[in-house]
Structure 1
């Protein structure tokens, strides 16, 4: 059972000694921060915001602090930068891009974390997730939320009608897609209007084709985007996108399809295709539609591998980053690194944690539990490549990688070497300005 977190001293005790329990006598003074306010900004809205606010209320109840959440929506970086520029930084921001985190750290705006926060992170997160929050050897980020981005969702009834099962390899994905089309159902809905899902497509194909070492080199721009492995990954994507009826409505309709619309196209009352690629958070949208049940009518399989490559996972996540170093801020950061804080959101669904001391039994269903455990135990795991890059290239609305992949989706039969050259030109400019 997870015990209550009670401030710096007791919170650190519970974090480090979770397996053995934490003595009730170790409780720090409840109400230590009575009368103090602390603000967290993030991109979450709707149910996700409401669930996170429960986490913040729990911290407030145990410390007396007034915790306020401000949503920046899809323009979170704009909000944070504006607040920094006006001399009114938020205390904590939930940053989804390690590349942006690195820029804030380099400028001195983000505050390094030490002491109880660093100890909690070391106790509860694997070295890989610790490293993702580290810049120049100093810890800045606490990965409160994670995402499994190597998942394809499908309608069980469409697969049954076509007589196919989940594919294990990219070649099998093509075969299954063709069989679905032959049975009268477009294979895949692609939400090209939003841009970011296309970067996720590329990252999964590239990790499988080029391997983790080149993936890391490309993320750091130590490998040019004109490398033959990039061209081949683009060619693989283009071949699938250009195949007749593989994409619901073809590339033109895909470019007009938002992420929310794409979920309805597969799992709504009048489904128009059989599959959708995107991360675990698809389950939240499926549940809102109320037509197909996750785990039965709506199922998933891992992103198909190349023969012999094994299971590789692309992950995303939101890191808590401090922009003030007040004691209340740092105690909040330590709390967000605790299993208790993660359990509040995990129990309500639509959330994955990579806190290795969180009991996965708290997840509300077997599907979410499986996806979370995949993140914890993947043979090969890499963070979302576009989020590792400078924001102007891959990390926000209008970013170059988003726009160039949308242009490629519009004409998937075009020369992938030309697309790669355009990506390299944009990357060189973005990394040079970073």
Structure 2
């Protein structure tokens, strides 16, 4: 790993921790809507970064799954930090991160920092002995700004390795308000009402659903979100927890019921795949493209997480609002006003304890960074120091409030918590078999037999 010459402000791990604990690192800006750092411009903003230290020619490599426009916004989110500290944060995104992070670790060439999209993958890489325990400053920020559950997702065998970064609320159903108003459709308040609405839409000139399970090397994961949402809503958080930890078998009758309930919607040729093709096209359609026919009125609904807001356009030209171009509602439960949701997030783990790496890792765990990134649009964070007003749309603001609401029953994406061989292996591939014709019981039996 690279080591740079420090030119001011000692920044050892203990020193950063002390600053974080006294509120110098990680406090939310007085005006979160201001420029990153909480001030009106870069020059004044550097005062907010003084405690991180300054470095001459320092470079920190960050590796993750974030690509394209989202990667551009990620780079923008730490630009002022770079200017003020002298650290060049070099981000590399890869659609093959899940496989390549292991290749790089085994080859002795890990990045300084990795943004893990799955707690299960983080745990498996921690098992190689290459990931370092989080510095005290990062632990302090995590304890201040995240719930115990979120901290636990970055903890392996009692040791805290990785603070959360961004987050998402899953289970949103996206739609076009103008199309719905024209047809007189109303947002359902229960799963039964959603079924009734789907049947009603099918009688019109609009196909009820557009769906895509495609995602490059990670093809299949969008299907797992459907199953997880239905397991949680039909059977509750206790069964959900038992399922993802294998206290009940993967092919338990309750899981069969949830999967069949999903199949009634997206395996029905009369209900999919609006603007794209027949049921079989779901397997190959990229999830990022799958929802776009909603805006053309070719399909009525698309099931995808809060982060999908960033996929409607590259230039934020699509208005996400209740009376805008697109809007969304949370997939309902068996009863009205159910508060259970699934979600996901990323976690930043370190392979180096160089002072400049600690500085970047600490900044990424702070409320300042969360407000900086969220204010750029398209994403949210579960960081309690985040001002919901910084979210780029009313929908994302509501998603932040959902994450911060103590009454919300939140469960992390199940496949991300399962052993990698299942969660990002047989579960993904099994859903491709399922959507192209294989029976529910057969698919679940195969996944169950693959559990380590």
Match of 1:208 in 2: 233
SS in structure 2 at match of 1:277: strand
Match of 2:4 in 1: none
SS in structure 1 at match of 2:346: strand
CA distance in 1, matches of 2:390, 2:160: 28
**Where in structure 2 are the equivalents of 1:81-230 lying within 5 Å?**
81-193=102-214, 194-230=219-255
How many pairs are equivalent?
415
1:130 to partner: Cα distance: 0.9
1:311 to partner: Cα distance: 1.6
CA distance in 1, matches of 2:162, 2:184: 46
Task: Work out which of the residue numbers 53, 69, 88 in structure 2 matches 1:66.
Answer: 88
SS in structure 2 at match of 1:332: helix
**Where in structure 2 are the equivalents of 1:27-426 lying within 5 Å?**
28=50, 32-72=54-94, 74-193=95-214, 194-248=219-273, 249-267=277-295, 270-288=296-314, 292-295=318-321, 296-307=324-335, 310-377=338-405, 379-395=408-424, 399-411=425-437, 415-426=439-450
User: Which digits, 9 at most, give the CA deviation of each residue in 1:160-201, with x for residues without a partner?
Assistant: 233211111111111111111112211000103341110100
Match of 2:41 in 1: none
More helix by share: 1
CA distance in 2, matches of 1:46, 1:19: 28
1:266 to partner: Cα distance: 1.4
TM superposition score normalised by structure 2: 0.85
Stretch moving more, 257-266 or 414-423? 414-423
CA distance in 2, matches of 1:196, 1:27: 38
Q: CA RMSD in A?
A: 2.5
1:30 to partner: Cα distance: 6.8
Contact 2:49 2:81 in 1 (8 A): no
SS in structure 2 at match of 1:225: coil
Contact 2:102 2:125 in 1 (8 A): no
Which runs of 5 or more residues in structure 2 are unaligned? 1-8, 32-37, 39-45
**Where in structure 2 are the equivalents of 1:423-434 lying within 5 Å?**
423-426=447-450, 428=451, 432=452
CA distance in 2, matches of 1:30, 1:142: 17
User: Which digits, 9 at most, give the CA deviation of each residue in 1:255-292, with x for residues without a partner?
Assistant: 2322132122212xx44211100011221121338785
Stretch moving more, 361-370 or 379-388? 361-370
User: Which digits, 9 at most, give the CA deviation of each residue in 1:301-341, with x for residues without a partner?
Assistant: 11121126822111111111111122222221111111111
The 1:16–1:300 alpha-carbon spacing in structure 2 relative to 1, beyond 3 Å, is: closer
SS in structure 1 at match of 2:231: helix
CA distance in 2, matches of 1:196, 1:25: 43
Stretch moving more, 171-180 or 35-44? 35-44
1:95 to partner: Cα distance: 0.3
CA distance in 1, matches of 2:289, 2:127: 38
Contact 2:206 2:297 in 1 (8 A): no
The 1:162–1:20 alpha-carbon spacing in structure 2 relative to 1, beyond 3 Å, is: closer
CA distance in 2, matches of 1:132, 1:360: 23
Stretch moving more, 134-143 or 415-424? 415-424
The 1:25–1:157 alpha-carbon spacing in structure 2 relative to 1, beyond 3 Å, is: closer
TM superposition score normalised by structure 1: 0.89
SS in structure 1 at match of 2:189: coil
CA distance in 1, matches of 2:168, 2:300: 23
User: Which digits, 9 at most, give the CA deviation of each residue in 1:138-161, with x for residues without a partner?
Assistant: 111111111111211011122223
CA distance in 2, matches of 1:289, 1:101: 33
User: Which digits, 9 at most, give the CA deviation of each residue in 1:47-102, with x for residues without a partner?
Assistant: 21111112333332232222211112x21122221221221211100000100111
1:420 to partner: Cα distance: 1.8
